[in-house]
Amino acid sequence: MNQAILEVDNLHKSFGRSAVLNGVSFSIPEGEISSIIGPNGAGKTTLFNVITGLYAPNKGSISFNGRNIVGLQPYQIVPLGIAKAFQITSIFPRLTVWENILAAVITHRKKNLDFVTPLSKLTPIHERAQELLDSVGLAEFAQYQSGTLAHGNQKRLDIALSLALSPKLLLLDEPTAGMSPEERRDTVTLIKSLWERLDITMLFIEHDMDIVFGISQKVRVLCYGVLIAEGTPDEISRNPKVIEVYLGEGD
């Protein structure tokens, strides 16, 4: 088994008197593609927000590549190699697809463009932007205004913006939410292809069980802030507790 890239230990998060995460612990090996499932209100998105530094935990530790990241802000965590694609796309709708990608690459490389920037310094940036467009299948839409794209393509663009950060761990929050069946199939194919090609670890939240069981190496199940099960898709699909509280296949 590969070395753990992310280790979460006894994580707690409350908002006022409402406990959202209750002692969550798990580790993710480097290179794994896995999912987190659970009913609405289970704490899945809150877990992502704590990992990425948007929320501070009340208790517990989070280690990324052996480094404790609790207490770090999102802008400090991203350069370490964690990126997140949001459930609601975070694109710039008035910019073209190309301009969105270019801005993300420039920001990641901490370069500012001006009228005296040598062309030799721009070329690698443009090449990286084109590479990202190609990787998510949006090259033909490069000059389209982003806000005019179909929902599925907006999600592809959002994933490309996350990949522009060169993450080691990519968190995907419901990557197929709101999509048509065809868009869902295409997005799943894209996610699996990116994972296979990019030497990246992926963790995603998803409600569609066909998607979860189709591409996850491991599935983790949250229920009201408690991790009640983790295992292979086959193990999870046969787990009596999961069936009772989430999959709803029994009385």
What is the per-residue pLDDT across 208-246, written as a single tens digit (0 to 9) for each? 888 899 999 999 999 989 999 999 999 999 999 888 876
Segment 26-36 mean pLDDT: 97
Domains with residue ranges and CATH for the chain: 1-81+167-251 (3.40.50.300), 94-166 (no CATH)
- φ and ψ of 81, to 5 deg: 125, 20
Q: Tell me: pLDDT of 156 over 60.
A: yes
Q: Tell me: pLDDT of 249 over 80.
A: no
| The pair of three-digit structure tokens given for residue 50, joined into one six-digit string | 């704590």
Segment 73-77 mean pLDDT: 93
DSSP string, 149-193: S-HHHHHHHHHHHHHTT--SEEEEESTTTT--HHHHHHHHHHHHH
Segment 47-70 mean pLDDT: 96
